[in-house]
Chains A and B, each alone.
Chain A
Amino acid sequence: MTIAAELAELGHLGGPATMAMVTTRWRSATKQFYVLEPAGGWNDENRLDLLHEFLCERLEPLTDALIAVGDDEVALLKLTSRIMKNWLTDQARKTDTGAIRLRLEELLNADPSFLRLPGHTQRWALTGTTGAEFSRHDDESLFAAAMAVPNVKPVRWRDGSRRAPMASGPDLTRVLTAVLGCAGSAGLEIGMLSRVFQRRFAVTVTSHVPLDSDDTLADRLAAPFATDPAQAAEASTRAAEVYAQLSDRERRILLHLDDRPRVEEILNVGRSVAYTHIARVRMTLAALAGEDLDVEAVAAELLRLAESDAAPDDMQDATSGRSATINTEGAQRP
């Protein structure tokens, strides 16, 4: 009996064909989420425990959605995987938010320029704010304040088993100062602060594709690209840092930011999903523009790294030239 026939007859997901499909799909869905991987790796038992957690939250909508699909097996598999992937992404983000919150609290407690507001255990403000300052609390203003802090450098990270830190402690403190400065004397709840930071460092914390241990990255840095050797060395180092923060998928599309059909092909996705990925990488690169360095040289170096990593298929129809692909705003050139 097919899965669709079984679903139509039973009205639930407990039939043998459906059960087998759910467990197989779950196995492949969980593989990608290294941040959710238990210490010691996945095994049948811990994978099943997480599946029960998923079903506890999503059994009803999953059942209704699969029954509504009808007798198209491919569509059934696609939808099951998507619902699982989205739930796992939410779980990964929850662990990200928890980790961000802990890190921010650590920094806030350690620095006297931050003040826990009396009577509000979860609320923080800058020490010395009087209430006379102009303040903004909306998401966009807070995010803009976080983005406006220059030279916030991602930390180069080689440990494939743990998530990369958002940035160095001093850099995070500068961003905290800017965001709390924007919020003024009323301060902000730690939850809100965590959300602003999660958005500000989105690439780092939501990339769930494991980064390869990249010990050879330093060796692969080419001879200085810019004419000024000091500047070139800085650009190379910076590019290596940024490159280390990109997920495998983002690295693969770096060479094709101006070629959406090629990104569709490489990632095996549709037009809108390809646009979303391209936009994410562009925004990451755009953040470089605020830094005090030769962004052109960094961009060129990034592309060189991507070229040296690219699979032969990815190189087919690749960009006509490194610097033609991205400019200092991370946007494509005409």
Chain B
Amino acid sequence: MSPSDDRLHAVLSGYQAPAALRQALAAANRPEIRAGQIWRARVEGTSVTVLIVTDFNAGAGEVVVATPGEAPPADSAIEHRRVATDAFRTLTLWSTVRGTLHHRALDVMIENSATSTGLAQELRSSPRVVTLDEDPFDPGAELLAELRDDLALLQAAPAVPVRTADPVRLAMMLPGTARQQLEQLIEHLGVSQNEAMELHRGRRTVTAEQARALETAIGLELGSLPSSGGIDPDLALEIEHPRWRDAARRRAARTGQAEVTARTSLAAEAYALAARESTKVPDWQQRIALLVAGEP
């Protein structure tokens, strides 16, 4: 090492991250999601710390982006709050980067303390900040926009395909005019005009294969069209819980699949396992745990 490298090494090693933060990350806790917890949320290429503002209901709840490393410059007018928590020496809460997030994007809980619970409580009781006329020249405007884009990426995390009991009117979900939608159905699914009209009006539901073909052809996110062949909604909710992310990620790495595909295949196998048993209402958490225990 050159003397300048030595000097840089000494500086970079001169600060140790808080033990509470390191321990929380090493413990990799993924409990039920409650207001007041701080989580790492991530999709491929993007990782963001969020404070859970409301309890999660049906897999989703409100979060606010909280950054440990970034804050607006001192002369910025952007609404924010700098706080210290048990795990972070400083954390910036961006009140205007707040939105609904599905638990499929959450990864690891970092903190669940009286401090973080109090912060969530304060955010819930304070009115939502709606800034209609933001100054694009504010010194923090670009950072704020980048954080909003990060939150949008998390919100768009790919979902496993969910089976729907009720046929959905594809007219409500496809782009274009009614005529264009019908043409798309005929072209991409190879169905007759009559069948296309039934799907279009919601008298029939597309199969899983048809849904995937249509999503790919039109450029919709995979899993966004409800189909008759998707995953049971309760199982989908369970398999997307953060507690199964490691298992899905390991499978994805082993098989070269995307994480969502690995989640879908885990769910399909858990479903097949349950189908061989007599229990009327399967305990999906237990079924998946059994399956995952046998994974390499």
Contact = CB atoms under 8 A, between A and B. Distances in A.
* A is bound by B: yes
A225 interface: no
Nearest to B9: A14
A82 B70 contact: yes
A14 B12 contact: yes
B145 A63 contact: no
B11 A64 contact: no
Given A65-B70, A273-B142, A70 B107 contact: yes
Nearest to A10: B13
B67 A65 contact: yes
Interface in B119-158: 135-137, 139, 141-146, 148-150, 152-153
B8 interface: yes
Contact of A52 (B11, B16, B22, B136): B11
Contacts of A277: 136
Given A19-B12, A59-B12, A63-B15, A70 B73 contact: no
Contacts of A13: 12-13, 15
B294 interface: no
B250 interface: no
Contacts, number: 161
B8 A64 contact: no
Nearest to A202: B137
Contacts of B44: 72, 74
Contacts of B89: 60-61, 64
Contact of B15 (A22, A59, A86, A280): A59
B69 A55 contact: no
B12 A78 contact: no
A67 B22 contact: yes
B132 to A, nearest CB: 13
A63 B88 CA distance: 11
B15 A23 contact: no
Interface centre among A55, A61, A82 (most CB of B within 10 A): A61
Interface stretch (A33-41, A124-132, A226-234, A264-272): A264-272
A61 B92 CA distance: 10
A275 interface: yes
Interface string B12-36: 1111111001100110000000000
B170 interface: no
Interface stretch (B45-53, B54-62, B209-217): B45-53
A63 B14 CA distance: 10
Given A18-B12, A52-B11, A93 B73 contact: yes
B262 interface: no
A326 to B, nearest CB: 16
A315 interface: no
Contact of B17 (A11, A202, A269, A275): A11
A75 B16 CA distance: 21
Interface in A154-199: 195, 199
Interface string A19-47: 10011000000000000000000001100
Nearest to A73: B45
Given A51-B8, A59-B12, A12 B42 contact: no
Contacts of B90: 60-61, 64
B45 A55 contact: no
A135 to B, nearest CB: 22
A195 B75 contact: yes
B149 A272 contact: yes
B68 interface: yes
Given A70-B47, A273-B145, A22 B12 contact: yes
Contact of B69 (A23, A51, A65, A199): A65
B267 interface: no
Nearest to B26: A8
A276 B145 contact: yes
A269 B150 CA distance: 11
A90 B73 contact: yes
Contacts of B108: 70
B110 interface: yes
Contacts of B46: 72, 75, 78
27 contacts: A8-B25, A11-B16, A12-B16, A19-B5, A19-B9, A22-B12, A59-B12, A59-B15, A60-B90, A62-B69, A63-B16, A64-B18, A65-B69, A70-B107, A72-B42, A83-B69, A86-B70, A89-B142, A199-B137, A269-B149, A270-B148, A270-B150, A271-B148, A272-B144, A272-B148, A272-B149, A276-B136
Interface of B: 4-5, 7-18, 21-22, 25-26, 40, 42, 44-47, 49, 67-71, 73, 75, 77, 88-90, 107-108, 110, 135-137, 139, 141-146, 148-150, 152-153
Interface of A: 8, 10-14, 18-19, 22-23, 44-45, 48, 51-52, 55-56, 58-70, 72, 74-76, 78-79, 82-83, 86, 89-90, 93, 139, 195, 199, 202-203, 206, 269-273, 275-277, 279-280, 283
Given A59-B14, A93-B139, A279-B136, 10 more contacts: A14-B12, A19-B8, A60-B89, A61-B68, A63-B17, A64-B88, A69-B47, A70-B40, A72-B44, A79-B47
